[in-house]
Structure 1
Amino acid sequence: MNRCFQNPKSKLPQMPGRPQLRYSRCLRRINESREALRNGDSSFPLPVVSGRWMTIADFVEYMFVPEHVAMKKLSGRTHYQAILKHVLTPEEVDRMFQVDAETSKTKLSAVPNWPYLSNVRLRDARPDDVQRLISAALAHGYSTQTVTHIRNVINAIFAHAQKKQWFTGANPASLVTLPEMTRKEAHALTLAQAKEVLQVMHYPEKEMTLIAILTSMNVAEICGLQWKRVNLTEAWSNTDGEPIPPRTIAVRQQWYRGELGSVSRKSRNRNLPIPETLLPILLGLSQRAKFTGPDDFVLVSQAGTPISENRIAARRLKPIGRDLQMPWLSWHVFRRTHTTLAHEFGMRFQDRMAMMAHSESA
């Protein structure tokens, strides 16, 4: 239970007479309602129908998370969980997302004197409250991108509160000032750099790199690719009632943070012709001794599990980047390389990639 409600009297404002009594009763009703909700009794009425005493933490826990965040895909839920820890205390957010503090890998603790919005009454929230939080984040060295994420999450909280008629007036987050975004240089490999990188790569990062450059698939889609959605033949195939054209990769799912799910956006649902360069690589993978069933993944660990993009990036990709004086090397760079090379050479760049791939495998 939230510490600020374990001993309500310790948090009471100094209001004499009947207002003090009303506030005390409201806190007691909040505690009763919280217990009922946690015990699965949704019929117990939330005691702050007018929103008079509801804090931002209350609203986020009992309305925003279950009604808005829970509807998102895993990537969206993960994003909200991470950013909310800068808006509310990390302990509160862990409780809201039912994170076991003992087993959690991310041990973020509350920052002393951080202007958390937890105990700000929802109805009383002002742009100054949000601006104070943004200023603290900038003072602690947060990037403009992270600060923008914080502002956007707060904006989503109050937009939901407005939608549910728990907050009236202008959205406080929409009135705060953010510094100008300074974007990092967007890197892409030249053909010479691509050859240099491929020369020192091994399985699976080499195959991941080739697939990304040749098809523009992102790394989550590559790691989540299963054989049932790869048609290497000259005839049409059928997977889960869906026809797949000859020599085509049907991108439908992705492997993200240890979970297989649908791709991030419907527009990412697509059929990609398999380039001639990539075909022999996929054929070779399909002929390995095991893990070639329809539900097996194209790229697997020794145990047959999907590849961990973060582990491969940390253990293989980043060291390669440092050794080759390319510290910016990342999975996204390979996708950008596809766009750059295709623009520069047309699809003829795939023929050049074919020569590189064959020379490196020889």
Structure 2
Amino acid sequence: MTETESISDWIAAGGMPPYWVLCANVVALLAVLYMVPSSLARPLRIALIESDAARVIAGFAAAIGFVVIVATAWQIWIDLNDRREERVDRAWNRLLRPVGGNTGKDAALNYLFAQGEALQELDISCKVIGAWNSAGSYCEGTPLFARVELRGRGHLLKPMGFKPTWQGRPILRDIKTEGSRFGVLRLSKVEMWADLEDTEVDEFIVEDSYLWARTRKLVTRHCRIVDSHVQLGIEFLKEHYCEVSSSTFPRSSLLMLQSRLTGEPQPWAMANRPPFVVDDVPDGDSVIVPWPDEFLEHVLLCDPKGLSPVVLDVRTICDRMSIEDAKAVYPEAYSQRYQVPREFR
């Protein structure tokens, strides 16, 4: 803009003058008002502030201001909602785009879960979201999820059972991950039915959750399943050092586990937090009790003293306790018993 251009030129061009011009005008107006003689100031004050007309105008202005504030808030809410929908759409596109490698799919999945998106029948297997070779029927580029943490906010309803008895927990049903790889897969306060077959998970952590999963060829380096209700493939517990402290299993799973485990125990638990089993009673209430000795002998019981409560691998740092010693030191832990009414089974 040249010096000969005026404010009217700005307005005619559809623009606004710079802020310094507006500020200069405000200062000039205040200076003019300050120089008004006292003989004129009082009549002006009465006419502009204290008169009935001034009060009517002030009330009208206040009403208009309120309407403007409400309309502005409504527009802001609409804009934010539109932006949220855009972000959700982008997250879905990133998650489901068929490409291998670490492309931010973990962040997309975490965001969709946090936004309460329905994660039902979600297929995040290599065949769907990876680089899949259709001719040879194999995965050329594995989808990588660096860190997936799905945390709910609900709580478990007591008494415990094996049907959905959760209150306020997000539900993830029919999730498929075949051929994908996770750095960390952490479930906390969620209910999940999943097909985790042929999946790699470096750290598999389940806390205060319900998990039903197919686990054939599920490979994990560190495993922690605590304070949860789980129904897993028995081969998973057979092949992995997995913490099962205070987690509950159906008796049918333990019978299969007992018949298949030989040699050193694979599952392990804090000695003061033994795993539980559901004993079904036909036509009556079932009970949840600590694992009987014939099952506990297949579990490595670790002395919790000096052992971090979030340790993932105890093979080199666990102070092993016998069943007899654990019961003598922590008698209350092995005398717990919960009733499970039939409607919760």
Tell me the TM-score normalised to structure 2 length: 0.20
Max Rg structure:
2
Tell me the TM-score normalised to structure 1 length: 0.19
Higher helix share: 1
Higher strand share: 2
